[in-house]
């Protein structure tokens, strides 16, 4: 087995382990609240307002990417919601 194959196997194992971990990150509530609060129609408009590429919002919505500091600050600036509110929304319970 070469180095590349080992690396791919390790990445796959990490992804499987990550999928089994309970996560408190709930991006849909955060993104949907932002869209509603800013009177936007959809994720595409949210991308334009936040000045990010659509794949970024898509990856956040599908839990493939966490909300980083830069986008969190942008959300705060554009929505006038506090950082604390935004973080609470992204960590809210799914129930």
Domain spanning 26-90 has what CATH number? 1.10.260
The domain ranges of the chain are 26-90
Average pLDDT, the chain: 85
User: HEC profile for the chain?
Assistant: CCHHHHHHHHHHHHHHHHHHCCCCCCHHHHHHHHHHHCCCCCHHHHHHHHCCCHHHHHHHHCCCCCCCHHHHHHHHHHHCCCHHHHHHHHCCCCC
pLDDT value of position 18: 61
- pLDDT value at 94 more than 50: no
Residue-wise pLDDT for 1-47, tens only, equals 688 888 888 888 777 666 545 556 678 999 999 999 999 999 999 99
Higher pLDDT, 13 or 88: 88
pTM for this entry: 0.69
């Amino acid at each position: 087995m070469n180095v590349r194959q080992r690396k791919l196997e390790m990445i796959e194992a990490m992804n499987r382990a990550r999928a089994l971990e309970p996560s408190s990150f709930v991006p849909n509530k955060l993104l949907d609240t932002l869209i509603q609060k800013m009177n936007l129609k959809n994720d595409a408009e949210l991308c334009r307002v936040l000045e990010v590429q659509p794949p970024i919002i898509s990856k956040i919505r599908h839990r493939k990417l966490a909300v980083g500091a830069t986008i969190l600050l942008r959300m705060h600036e554009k929505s006038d919601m506090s950082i604390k509110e935004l973080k609470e929304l992204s960590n809210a319970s799914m129930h």
